[in-house]
Chain A
């Protein structure tokens, strides 16, 4: 693996971490707010349906989490399982794309319906 690619992934991991720090802070506050009195589809969808702001927020959250999670899993697989090289690079890309698709589908479900 080239040093340049490692540097790129390191920077991508930190850049997405900064985005995620903001997103997770908002998410934790939303969780605490939302679970008071129990969760219901009406409450959740009442907040998100038709909201461009929540749609943009969760889309950015999903994309950052997909990139961050995939790079993180690749690093852990390399250090703990000795999984390196082409296989782990392909697996990382597949995980990132799959998480993005699943995540954006979930965002569409709660924002557009």
Chain B
């Protein structure tokens, strides 16, 4: 298998796994936000629970998954809708770099 094929394969796997994980996370995300219906105190109690190391790591993973799915999606749209297909590997590398950069910034500020 060529290096390009290998990169494209990993880009495919990351896009698919991150997409499924984000879809599974969404209901929980919506549930927490809807706690605002029961007042600020209820929402704050849940937000305080999230303020612990393991949850911060889980949040970081989610932010990385979102950034990776975003950048990988831009790559796919470019491959499918724009005429420069020989940029495949560069796009995948840029997508990975973007996800890592977002993850790094999140880890620094959280």
Residues of A within 8 A of B (CB): 14, 17-18, 20-21, 24-25, 27-28, 31-32, 35-36, 38-42, 44-45, 65, 69, 72-73, 76, 98-99, 102-103, 105-110, 113
Q: Which residue of A lies closest to B80 (CB)?
A: A14
Q: Is the CB of A39 within 8 A of B50?
A: yes
Inter-subunit contact A76/B40 (CB<8 Å): no
Residues B51-110 near A (CB distance < 8 A): 51, 59, 63, 66-67, 69-70, 73-74, 76-77, 80-81, 102, 105-106, 109-110
A65 CA / B69 CA spacing, docked (Å): 12
Q: Which of A72, A73, A99 has the most CB of B within 10 A?
A: A72
**Is B4 interfacial (CB-CB < 8 Å)?**
no
Least CB distance, B1 to chain A, in whole angstroms: 20
From DSSP, what is the main secondary structure of chain B's interface residues? helix
Q: Are B44 and A32 in contact (CB under 8 A)?
A: no
**Is A27's CB under 8 angstroms from B66's CB?**
yes
User: Cβ of A45 and Cβ of B40 under 8 Å apart?
Assistant: yes
Partner among A18, A38, A99, A109 whose Cβ is within 8 Å of the Cβ of B77: A18
**A28–B102 touching, CB < 8 Å:** yes
Q: Are B51 and A35 in contact (CB under 8 A)?
A: no
From the candidates A20, A42, A98, A109, name the one contacting B73 in the complex (CB within 8 A): A20
Cβ of A28 and Cβ of B63 under 8 Å apart? Answer: yes
Q: Which of B22, B36, B70 contacts A69 (CB 8 A)?
A: B22
